[in-house]
């Protein structure tokens, strides 16, 4: 078919030009250096994408809206002034905008960032309600700015992966507020003479590192230096605290799980070591001395923390030895320490906790009635290979056809039914067929009001004592709580059955995946293409200390079975491009490992200098996948690529789109339903990084896929403890009894 090309003629200024603005210019300027625009907004409106707008010295009383990718550069920041006149001075609605060299003042928000990937540098923001305001955005870089004399300096709300580096943040009300925000980096800033220095509220996985924090809170009675409230899994390290009203790092809402180490604290306290010890955790494994935590800090050298993860008793002894003789500390918290350590062991389950019956079934497929006839083909295939399978219609569960089922809502009724299947039919695996509108997923709750979906709820059936695990131990109808409004539910997080889901919206989607499963299990064994494993990674956080994506992929590659020939697609070797990812898919592979960033429709990562980005998305790139039935199992270490709540949209989430691709794609994916979580240090992984490592260690041909995931989850708990958010959020989108590498025929 011949292609039709449409050429659009526009009257805007060519992108190759620099456009000039001068406050004393004539009203009818054209943007040239000799005939400049008078208003910045006029220049923006006329500019093409990627133009540079050069603003000469002067006062510009405007409320600017930037809706295209441009560079906005001031001639000299102290004399090039944008005055917001009590409204937002600068609003950024387009991605990849650069703002440099201005004084931005007298605004509601000095800069209101409402888009991703922008750079704000070398500016002065003063006399605004909020100097810089970020809400629901990511990947912005704010560096080398002077943010002074605002009601609040920098506000980051519901945002992630933003970097706040090398700024001078002084004489504001709140210097930096991070609220319900994750994966942000606060690095090498001077936070000086604010009423409140740095505050984290209901926020997780942020890094506060190498900041100079001085004389905050000195002008009011209750000023704070660094305050962590209701937040978990943040890192606070190598900061200097000098002459603040309270030279300490405060935690509110006890037992927030944060890693706080190697901070230099001076001033009145003179860095008294014990004065700053509150409580030490390792991602859910509680180390207690019998003392209730008070609002002081865990101040432990990192090497002792890291090494101690391998020896829980050593850390417990370390804390007791340092606390038991500190009478002043004991007086402050008004408690008497008990002898020894109380260590909560979450790594064991009671064998045979439920009644043991003669083995009758292996797999139960739970489905709405509309899919039951089509699933008979899959059940017959499973039974052929001695995976004893039964199809159960959801409607029959609710009608008590098989067992009398109790439960306060439909998810709990389904879970009670699975419990009865274990105890009466001896099942080991459950396949849920249908999207979340057809078969509900349990919504779980973490710090703040954040919630996400999980199928682990259905698999974690028993408490350690063999009783039914409702995931609502405090009976407040919030399930799987992790520091949610001060509550944490007592659950094991260890699956008792292998579980997977085919989140089909239609019979046609189900037909695609059933055919894939049958073809995979009958035609894959001993093929050359299956012996390939491909690892894709870059520098997931360009401002982080290490190239995390490549380090995690190297570890996963090292751990994968020697049966595989490995291929690295990295930004550092210039092989990580969308074209190469598609090329490797189309060759066929047994395993694909992605580690980077993501959203519901995309996986992406950066080069170390943040100048290059590889974006692999389900809307444009998946149509190029032509690998037929050479189908890999895919581990997606990235945010919300498995968010099945996204499937109400026109196209499904990234992970399911791979599986339902008609011309190839994947046979199954392991993906997260929520924001990605990881810590990568030398010889220490946590979060997604560790789960992917353990998954690759367990991944071998001849095993059922859900058995690999369950082994990885159990090993994760042994090393880190009960990490609710990681273990709850990762789900298997695929057949739990998929035979990795197929059956020998």
Q: Rounded to whole angstroms, how far apart are CA atoms 161 and 184?
A: 5
For the domain that residue 36 is a member of, what is the CATH number?
A: 2.160.20.10
Q: Of 83-97, 384-398, 454-468, 603-617, which range is least confident?
A: 603-617
Last residue of a domain, one of 148, 169, 187: 148
Q: Rounded to whole angstroms, how far apart are CA atoms 424 and 664?
A: 39
Q: pLDDT tens digit string along 180-213?
A: 888 899 999 999 999 889 998 888 888 999 999 9
Q: pLDDT tens digit string along 348-369?
A: 222 222 333 445 899 999 999 9
Q: How many CB atoms lie within 10 A of CB 374?
A: 16
- What pLDDT score does 380 carry? 93
The values of phi and psi at residue 43, to 5°, are -65, -40
Q: Rounded to whole angstroms, how far apart are CA atoms 356 and 697?
A: 31
Do 297 and 251 touch, CB atoms closer than 8 A? yes
Do 87 and 106 touch, CB atoms closer than 8 A? no
Q: Rounded to whole angstroms, how far apart are CA atoms 587 and 161?
A: 34
The values of phi and psi at residue 520, to 5°, are -60, -50
The CA–CA distances, whole Å, from 351 to 425, 463, 608 equal 18, 11, 48
DSSP 236-275: EES-EEES-SS-SEEEESS----EEES-EE-STTTT-TGG
The values of phi and psi at residue 222, to 5°, are -110, 25
Lookup: tokens for 612? 């290059």
The mean pLDDT value for 5-18 works out to 43
- What pLDDT score does 424 carry? 92
Q: pLDDT higher for 549 or 524?
A: 524
Q: Of 165-174, 582-591, 609-618, which range is least confident?
A: 609-618
Confidence grade of residue 271 (pLDDT, cut at 50, 70, 90): very low
Q: What length is written for the chain?
A: 745
For the domain that residue 578 is a member of, what is the CATH number?
A: 3.40.50.1460
Residue 329 domain-assigned?
A: no
Determine what percent of the chain is predicted with pLDDT higher than 70.
79
Residue with tokens 């990885």: 712
- What pLDDT score does 284 carry? 26
Residue 285 domain-assigned?
A: no
- What pLDDT score does 421 carry? 94
Q: pLDDT higher for 252 or 706?
A: 706
The values of phi and psi at residue 711, to 5°, are -65, -40
- What pLDDT score does 677 carry? 67
SS3 of 137-175: the string is: CECCEEECCEEECCCEEEEEECCECCEEECCEEECCCEE
The mean pLDDT value for 143-155 works out to 95
Q: What is the largest CA-CA distance in the chain?
A: 91
Q: Rounded to whole angstroms, how far apart are CA atoms 665 and 661?
A: 5
Last residue of a domain, one of 126, 148, 170: 148
Do 655 and 630 touch, CB atoms closer than 8 A? no
Lookup: tokens for 46? 């006329």
Confidence grade of residue 223 (pLDDT, cut at 50, 70, 90): low
The mean pLDDT value for 255-280 works out to 49
Reduce the DSSP state of residue 156 to 3 states and report it: strand
- What pLDDT score does 546 carry? 62
Q: pLDDT tens digit string along 18-32?
A: 999 999 988 778 889
Q: Rounded to whole angstroms, how far apart are CA atoms 345 and 274?
A: 26
Residue 601 domain-assigned?
A: yes
Q: Of 471-480, 565-574, 629-638, 642-651, which range is least confident?
A: 642-651
Query: What percent of the residues of the chain are helix, what percent strand, and what percent coil, each to the nearest 5?
Result: 20, 30, 50
Q: Rounded to whole angstroms, how far apart are CA atoms 144 and 394?
A: 58
Q: pLDDT tens digit string along 403-427?
A: 988 888 999 999 999 999 999 999 9
Instruction: Flag whether pLDDT at 336 surpasses 50.
Output: no
Residue with tokens 């691709």: 661
Residues 6+ apart with CB under 8 A from 213: 191, 192, 197, 198, 225, 226, 239, 240, 241, 242, 244
Rg, C-alpha atoms of the chain: 28
Q: pLDDT higher for 26 or 670?
A: 670
Q: Of 351-365, 462-476, 561-575, 621-635, which range is least confident?
A: 351-365
Q: Rounded to whole angstroms, how far apart are CA atoms 137 and 42?
A: 26
Lookup: tokens for 198? 């740095």
The mean pLDDT value for 630-639 works out to 93
Reduce the DSSP state of residue 328 to 3 states and report it: helix
- What pLDDT score does 246 carry? 73
Residue 105 domain-assigned?
A: yes
What is the CA angle 325-328-330, rounded to 5? 70
Q: How many CB atoms lie within 10 A of CB 157?
A: 16
Q: pLDDT tens digit string along 491-508?
A: 998 999 999 999 999 999
DSSP 270-297: TT-TGGG---EEETTEEEE-S----S--
Q: Rounded to whole angstroms, how far apart are CA atoms 495 and 696?
A: 19
Q: Which range among 89-93, 221-225, 439-443, 605-609 has the greatest average pLDDT?
A: 89-93
Q: pLDDT higher for 619 or 79?
A: 79
Alpha helix locations (H) across 334-409?
Answer: 372-384, 394-398
HSE of 498, CA atoms in CB hemisphere, 13 A? 21
Residue 1 domain-assigned?
A: yes
The mean pLDDT value for 283-291 works out to 26
Q: Rounded to whole angstroms, how far apart are CA atoms 188 and 194?
A: 17
What is the CA angle 235-236-239, rounded to 5? 150
Q: Identify any residues that bridge with 100 across adjacent strands, giving them in sequence order.
A: 73, 121
Q: pLDDT tens digit string along 695-730?
A: 999 999 999 999 999 999 999 998 888 888 888 889
Q: Rounded to whole angstroms, how far apart are CA atoms 192 and 190?
A: 6
Sheet holding 71-74, edge to edge: 18-21, 52-55, 71-74, 98-100, 119-121, 141-143, 163-165, 185-187, 207-209, 235-237, 259-261
* Structural domain harbouring 36: 1-148
Lookup: tokens for 679? 């810590």
Residue 724 domain-assigned?
A: yes
Q: pLDDT higher for 66 or 478?
A: 66
Dihedral in degrees, nearest 10, Cα atoms 675, 676, 679, 684: 140
Confidence grade of residue 547 (pLDDT, cut at 50, 70, 90): confident
Residue 144 domain-assigned?
A: yes
Lookup: tokens for 231? 């937040």
Residue 461 domain-assigned?
A: no
What is the CA angle 518-520-524, rounded to 5? 135
Last residue of a domain, one of 148, 171, 194: 148
Q: How far apart are the first and last CA of the chain?
A: 45
Determine what percent of the chain is predicted with pLDDT higher than 90.
49
Lookup: tokens for 191? 């936070």
Lookup: tokens for 523? 């035609």
Confidence grade of residue 552 (pLDDT, cut at 50, 70, 90): confident
Do 669 and 709 touch, CB atoms closer than 8 A? no
Q: pLDDT higher for 103 or 226?
A: 103
Q: How many domains does the chain have?
A: 2
Q: pLDDT tens digit string along 35-79?
A: 999 999 999 999 999 999 999 999 999 999 999 999 999 999 999
DSSP 184-222: -EEES-EEES-SEEEEEES-BS-EEES-EEESTTTTSTT
- φ/ψ region of 58 (left if φ > 0, alpha if ψ in -120 to 50, else beta) reads left
SS3 of 106-145: the string is: CCCEEEEECCCCCEEECCEEECCCEEEEEECCECCEEECC
SS3 of 572-628: the string is: CCCCCCHHHHHHHHHHCCCEEEEECEEECCEEEEECCCCCCEEEEECCCCHHHCCCC
């Amino acid at each position: 078919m011949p292609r039709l090309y449409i050429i659009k003629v526009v009257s805007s200024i060519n992108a190759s030009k620099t456009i000039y603005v001068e406050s004393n210019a004539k009203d009818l300027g054209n943007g040239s250096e000799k005939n400049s625009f008078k208003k910045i907004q006029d220049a923006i409106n006329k500019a093409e994408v990627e133009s540079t707008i050069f603003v000469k010295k002067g006062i510009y009383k405007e409320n600017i809206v930037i809706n295209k990718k441009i560079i906005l550069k001031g001639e000299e920041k102290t004399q090039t002034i944008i005055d917001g006149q009590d409204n937002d001075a600068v609003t950024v609605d387009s991605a990849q905008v650069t703002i440099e060299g201005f004084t931005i003042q007298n605004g509601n928000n000095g800069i209101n960032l409402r888009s991703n990937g922008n750079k704000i540098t070398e500016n002065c923001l003063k006399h605004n309600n909020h100097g810089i305001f970020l809400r629901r955005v990511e990947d912005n870089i704010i560096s080398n700015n002077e943010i002074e004399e605002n009601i609040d300096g920098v506000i980051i709300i519901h945002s992630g992966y933003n970097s706040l580096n090398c700024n001078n943040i002084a004489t504001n009300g709140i210097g930096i507020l991070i609220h319900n925000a994750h994966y942000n980096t606060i690095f090498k800033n001077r936070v000086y003479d604010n009423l409140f220095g740095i505050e984290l509220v209901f926020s997780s996985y942020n890094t506060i590192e190498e900041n100079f924090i001085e004389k905050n809170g000195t002008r009011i009675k209750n000023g704070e230096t660094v305050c962590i409230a209701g937040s978990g899994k943040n890192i606070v390290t190598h900061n200097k605290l000098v002459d603040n009203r309270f030279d300490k790092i405060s935690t509110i809402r006890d037992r927030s799980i944060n890693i706080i180490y190697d901070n230099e604290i001076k001033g009145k306290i003179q860095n008294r070591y014990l004065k700053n010890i509150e409580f030490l955790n390792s991602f859910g494994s509680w180390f207690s001395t019998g003392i209730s935590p008070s609002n002081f800090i865990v101040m432990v050298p990192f090497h002792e923390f890291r090494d101690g993860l391998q020896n829980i008793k050593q850390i417990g002894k370390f804390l007791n030895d340092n606390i038991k003789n500190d009478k002043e500390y004991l007086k402050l918290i008004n408690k008497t320490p008990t002898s020894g350590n109380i260590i909560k062991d979450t790594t064991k389950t009671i064998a045979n906790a439920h009644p043991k019956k003669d083995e009758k079934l292996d797999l139960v497929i739970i489905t709405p009635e509309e899919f039951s006839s089509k699933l008979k083909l899959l059940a017959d295939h499973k039974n052929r290979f001695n995976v004893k399978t039964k199809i159960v219609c959801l409607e029959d569960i609710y009608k008590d056809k098989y067992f009398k089922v109790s439960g306060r809502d439909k998810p709990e009724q389904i879970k009670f039914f699975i419990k009865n299947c274990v105890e009466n039919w001896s099942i080991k695996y459950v396949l849920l067929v249908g999207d979340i509108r057809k078969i509900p997923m349990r919504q779980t709750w973490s710090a703040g009001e954040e919630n996400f979906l999980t199928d682990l709820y259905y698999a974690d059936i028993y408490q350690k004592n063999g009783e039914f695990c409702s995931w609502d131990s405090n009976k407040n109808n919030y399930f799987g709580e992790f520091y949610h409004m001060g509550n944490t539910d007592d659950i094991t997080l260890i699956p008792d059955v292998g579980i997977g889901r085919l989140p089909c919206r239609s019979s046609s989607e189900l037909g695609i995946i059933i055919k894939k499963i049958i073809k995979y299990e009958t035609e894959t064994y001993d093929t050359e293409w299956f012996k390939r494993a491909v690892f894709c990674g870059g520098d997931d956080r360009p401002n982080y200390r290490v190239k995390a994506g490549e380090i995690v992929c190297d570890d996963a590659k090292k751990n994968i079975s020697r049966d595989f020939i490995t291929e690295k697609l990295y930004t550092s070797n210039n092989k990580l491009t969308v074209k190469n990812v598609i090329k490797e898919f189309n060759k066929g592979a047994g395993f694909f490992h992605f580690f980077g960033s993501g959203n519901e429709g995309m996986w992406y990562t950066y080069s170390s200098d943040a100048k290059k980005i590889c974006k692999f998305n389900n809307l444009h790139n998946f149509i190029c996948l032509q690998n037929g039935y050479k189908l890999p199992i895919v581990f997606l270490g990235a945010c919300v690529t498995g968010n099945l709540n996204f499937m109400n949209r026109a196209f499904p989430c990234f992970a399911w789109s791979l599986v339902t691709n008609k011309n190839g794609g994947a046979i199954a994916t392991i993906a997260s339903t929520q924001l990605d979580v990881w810590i990568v240090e030398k010889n220490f992984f946590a979060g997604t990084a560790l789960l992917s490592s353990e998954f690759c260690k367990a991944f071998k041909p001849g095993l059922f896929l859900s058995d690999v995931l369950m082994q990885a989850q159990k090993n994760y708990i042994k090393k880190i403890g009960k990490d609710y958010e990681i273990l709850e959020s990762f789900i298997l989108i695929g057949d739990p009894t998929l035979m990795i590498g197929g059956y020998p025929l």
